[in-house]
Chain A
Amino acid sequence: MTPLLEVRQLHVQFPRAPRDAVNGVDLTIHAEEIVALVGESGSGKTLTALSIGRLLPTTACWRAASIQFKHRDLLTLPDREFRHLLGQEVAYVFQDPASSLNPVLTVGEQLCEPLIVHRGMRWSEARTRAMELLAAVQLADPAETLPLYPHQLSGGMQQRVMLAMAALLNPALLIADEPTTALDATVQVQILALLLALRRQQGMAILLITHDLLHVAPIADRVAVMSQGRIVETAPTTQLYQSPQHPHTRALLSAMPRMGQGRLTHRTS
């Protein structure tokens, strides 16, 4: 089976930086697979995700041996065609929903626009579809949410709208960069459950980027651990938890607080 996305030997560098920010990353994602990319800040996980969608800042130089998506070579695809692909086939959800949503458009306008532009729908059709998706991401009252502006929603509701927007055109791959970091713990679990539901309903593959290995445990099929621009370990999730091979993975696992075991002592550090 050919993978949905295959990245080979990806490098990202910034001018005057001592080393490559992303240093030879290989990444494959199969259809309907949830892959987690885990690492600390500065490990290059976000840059890896952004380079797939050509979203890197203009100061960054990047090269790769190949990036294949659905049998297409993304490296040579002209910008015009690439723009068509982005949003329809590859969708992004970022950490901060408040700054990803357009503050001067209502939720309904933002959700309907891609349907009208990409699918040629009428407003009324788009509206119906937008409400379906808002219901799918478990927003309590879709009809009442449509005329609201982003600032009138809570962080969790904003992230649900972002997920609805990402799922709107039924992409094959969703790239979620720290989608739960800005949210409350109770809402985090709900958003993770929602990602699982989206995979089940729409059959999308998900690249989940996070610094927290705990967020990966319940939903990812496979985990890639990044450190200093390289992927240091890739393993199926259960295997990674049971027998982490790389010392960096072990360090990440031991850094996790365990609830109900009382206070830490500073002597164990």
Chain B
Amino acid sequence: MPTRYWWLVVLALIMVACGPQMPATSQTSPVSVQPAVRSALAEESTNANGEYVLGSPNAPVTLIDYSDFL
């Protein structure tokens, strides 16, 4: 290779070195980036009274939480 093309070799090496580290396109779901909302991973629904239920409707144990957000 003629010496005047040395920069092509350098450029190729830089591209190889940086390639795998390039940031991936956004593949995260809105919820997955929020550790606070991990409960969303479980099943969410409402019961006959319109109350929000987390978990399987057929679960043998029902835990009712009476709480104020304050």
- Note whether A and B form a binding pair: no
B residues in contact (CB < 8 Å) with A: none
